[in-house]
Amino acid sequence: MKQVKCVVDKDFYVGTAGTELFSSFIEHLGRAVYNGIYEPGHPEADSRGFRKDVIQCIKEMSIGLIRYPGGNFLSNYDWKDGIGPKDKRPVRLDLAWKSIETNEFGIDEFADWTKECGAGIMGAVNLGTGNPKDAAELVEYCNHPSGTYWSDMRIANGHKDPHNIKVWCLGNEMDGPWQIGQMTSDDYGKKARETAKIMRLVDPSIKLVACGSSTTRIPTYPEWDRTVLEHLYEYADYLSLHRYYENEGNDDDFLASFYDMDSFIKTIAGTVGYVKAKTRSKKQVFLSFDEWNIWYMQNQTDHPWQKAPELLEDNYSLLDSLVFGGLVCTLLNNCDMVKMACLAQLINVIAPVMTKPGGGIFKQTTYYPFVQAAECAGGKVLKTFVNSPEKETPMYGAVPGVQSSLVYQEEKGVITLFALNSFNNDSAEFSVDLRSFGNVEFLSHSEMSGGDLHAKNSFAEPQKVLPREAKTMPVVDSAGKISVVFQPLSWNTVKFRVK
C-alpha cells in the first residue's frame, strides 16, 4: 500500500472556490441546443420547448455561469439573426460545424432557459466576422433598461427586464487556424481593445474575458498570451485558457492529465504576472478556464449541412471519470488565479448529460465528480503540502500518484477531501492532520472504482457507473489525525464535520 501524507492548517488557504468555478458551456453545435435543451413537442417540453428533464439535471449540477453561444460557432454568428418572431428569422449555413442553423433559439430564449436552470450567463461577442459596433449593440440589447433602439427592441420581443449579462468573452480562440477570422496576436489585441472600450461605454459594470491560448499545443503558446495582454491588460478582467484531454494510447499519461493542466495554468499565470510588472499595473487580471473537458477528437465525423447532426457525442467511461476528477482537483487548487471554469460542453456534445430525441436522458460518468465538487462552492480551498509517491509516465515523467484537494465550508462546518488514486495496482493510505480544526468526525466516503475501466452509462444502463459508499472506514485518532484508504484507480470524495 502506498503512503501519502498531507499537512494542512485551517488558517492557510489558496482561495475561495466561487460558484463561477463550476460553470459550463452551450454552443450551437450538434445536438447541444436543438434536440438537447430545446425540443418542442417532446413529452417533457414546456410551452417554450425547453425540456424539463434536462433543466432538472442542470439544476442538480449547481452551475454558476453558462457560456453562450460559442465556441467556433461564434466567429461567424450574427446575434441579430436569433431575435424577433421565429418565423421571420433567417436560416443560415453554420460554417464552423457545417450545419444548418435555423436561429429558432437565440439570446432571449437562452436567457429564459438559464433562469429556469438557476444559472447566470457568460456572453460572447463575435470578433471573427463581427466588429466592435455589433458587440456594443448586443450589450445594449441585453443590458440597457429601455429608451434606446436596441433596448426597446428587446422589450418589444417580450423581455421588459434587461438580461443583465455581466461577463463577456471577447471572441473565441482567435489564435487558432481553424477559427473563422483568425488573427495575429497584435491584430486581435488591437481589435479586442477597441471592442472592450465601446462595450464598456454601453455598460461600465461588465467584466471582460480576453482570448488566451486555445491549447498548449499551438505554436504561438504562450507568446500569444503575452502580446494580447500587453494590448489589453487595463481593459480585460480575465484571460481565457482552453484545453481538452483524451486517451492517446497510454492510460498512465491520460491519468496524469491533471499534471499538464496544472503546468498550463502556472505558465499563463506567470505570463500575467510578467505583463502586470512590465506595464506597472495595479490591477490583477485573473484566469478563466472557459473550455475544459475530455474530448476524443479522433472520433469526429462530418455530417454536412444538417440541422442538429449527431456531433462529438462521446460516451464517457469509468476511466474518463477518474481523469475528470483529477482535473477538478487542479482547478480547485489554482482557484487563487482561476476564478471561472466552464466544462465544455453541457448537453449531448462532449457532455455530462445525454438526451434521446423524443426519449429519455442519462447522466454520464463525468457528471458525478462535477456535482460533488460544485457542492463545495463558496468553500475555502486549503493550502496543502502533500507527499505522494510518484509514478512514471511516458509523456510527463514522474508525477504524483495521488492528486488531491481539500475544501473547507466554514458555514456548514464541513471539510471535503477529493482524491484521485492513479496507481494501477496499489491502494493508497492518505493521512492528513486536521488538529487545527478542533474536534472532527467522519461523515461519508464515496468512491468511483471497479475492475472494468471501460464501463459506461447508457440509456439502457443509466446507473452502471455511480459513486458508491466505500467499504473501508477512515481511522480518526484522538489527536485529529485521519487516515483514509483509496482503492487502486479510484476517485474519492470524503467528508468530515467540524464539531
The catalytic residues are 173, 291
Backbone dihedral region for residue 422 (phi beyond 0: left; psi -120 to 50: alpha; all else: beta): alpha
Cβ atoms 227, 213 nearer than 8 A: no
- What percentage of the chain's residues is helix, strand, coil (to nearest 5)? 30, 30, 45
How far is Cα of residue 318 from the mean position of the Cα atoms in its chain? 20
Cα 341 vs. chain centroid, distance in angstroms?
A: 4
Q: How far apart are the first and last CA of the chain?
A: 31
Closest C-alpha among 484, 491, 452, 485 to residue 468 = 491
Residues 6+ apart with CB under 8 A from 29: 70, 71, 72, 73, 96, 97, 99, 311, 312, 345, 349
Give counts: helices (H), strands (E), the chain.
Answer: 10, 26
Phi, psi dihedral angles at 421 (to 5 degrees): -95, 110
Distance from C-alpha of 282 to C-alpha of 376, rounded to nearest angstrom: 31
Give the C-alpha separation, 420 to 400, whole Å.
10
Sign, CA dihedral 434-437-441-446, equals negative
State the cell numbers at 290: 472557459
**What does the alpha-carbon distance between residue 353 and residue 375 come to, in Å, rounded to a whole number?**
18
Report d(CA 102, CA 105) in Å as an integer: 8
Distance CA 149, CA 186 (A): 33
Q: Which three cell numbers stand for residue 439?
A: 474536534
CA–CA distance, 458 with 321 (Å, rounded to integer): 14
Nearest in space to 367 (alpha carbons), one of 468, 272, 465? 465
172 contacts 211 by C-beta, under 8 angstroms: yes
Grid coordinates representing 262 are 496544472
Considering only CA atoms, give the Rg of the chain: 23
